[in-house]
């Protein structure tokens, strides 16, 4: 489980270019500080992702996402919920909400500054590379449509362009 921030300005990434040509990414008159957040959980068993878009990251939006996942998406399944140490994950409001699910959910906090242990971080990189890299968007709705297309591919179990984590432990 993790959150990621989306900005309206283009996400610049390395890319291939024809020799002697430099790719230009126009930004125009975009509001540089306008952001949205995505809360998401990565299902390790089938490489699917469940997300929810929000305007901010705080205890209220975290608890709303937690309840959405545990009451609507996975209402009865036992779950291992891995998350980082964001302040809204450790707040009193969050702790109260987490305690309501402790019979069927094991909550694990990652060590500080170990984001590479959180599997969804790899998916966020893939998502931003595929949907947003080096591409300007006029508004968030257009950007969300591109992101939703990648999420739909990810959650289509037979699609050949899905993001897969290696599950080999050799």
| Closest CA relative to residue 123, chosen from 67, 40, 25, 65 | 40
Residue 165 belongs to a domain: no
Residue 169 belongs to a domain: no
Residue 120 belongs to a domain: yes
Distance between CA 159 and CA 150 in Å, rounded? 11
CATH code: domain of residue 67 = 3.30.420.10
> How many independent structural domains does the chain possess?
1
**For 12-33, how does the pLDDT look when each residue is reduced to its tens digit (9 = 90+)?**
667 666 788 876 666 666 555 6
What per-residue confidence (pLDDT) applies to 34?
77
Reported confidence tier of residue 41, pLDDT bands at 50, 70, 90: very high
Q: Taking the model in full, what pTM does it have?
A: 0.85
What per-residue confidence (pLDDT) applies to 39?
97
Residues spanned by the domain of 88 = 35-154
Distance between CA 101 and CA 103 in Å, rounded? 6
What per-residue confidence (pLDDT) applies to 29?
63
Residue 12 belongs to a domain: no
**For 113-160, how does the pLDDT look when each residue is reduced to its tens digit (9 = 90+)?**
888 889 899 999 999 999 988 888 888 889 999 999 999 999 999 999
Residue 85 belongs to a domain: yes
Mean pLDDT score, 81-99:
96
Residue 15 belongs to a domain: no
Residue 63 belongs to a domain: yes
Residue 81 · residue 87 · CB < 8 Å: no
The segment with the largest mean pLDDT, out of 1-15, 27-41, 53-67, 137-151, is: 53-67
What per-residue confidence (pLDDT) applies to 140?
86
Alpha carbons within 13 angstroms on the beta-carbon side of residue 88 total 15
What per-residue confidence (pLDDT) applies to 69?
98
Residue 16 belongs to a domain: no
């Amino acid at each position: 489980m993790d959150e990621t921030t989306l900005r309206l300005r283009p996400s610049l990434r390395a890319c291939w270019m024809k020799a002697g040509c430099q790719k230009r990414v126009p930004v125009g008159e975009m509001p540089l500080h306008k952001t949205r957040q995505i809360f998401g959980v990565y299902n390790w068993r089938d490489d699917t992702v469940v997300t929810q878009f929000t305007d901010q990251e705080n205890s209220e939006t975290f608890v709303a996402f937690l309840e959405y996942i545990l009451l609507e998406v996975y209402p009865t399944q036992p779950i291992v919920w891995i998350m980082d140490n964001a302040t809204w994950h450790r707040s009193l409001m969050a702790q109260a909400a987490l305690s309501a699910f402790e019979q069927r959910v094991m909550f694990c906090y990652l060590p500080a500054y170990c984001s590479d242990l959180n599997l969804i971080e790899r998916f966020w990189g893939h998502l931003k590379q595929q949907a947003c890299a080096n591409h300007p968007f006029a508004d968030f709705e257009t950007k969300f449509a591109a992101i939703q297309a990648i999420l739909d591919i990810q959650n289509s179990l037979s699609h050949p362009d899905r993001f897969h984590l290696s599950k080999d432990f050799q």
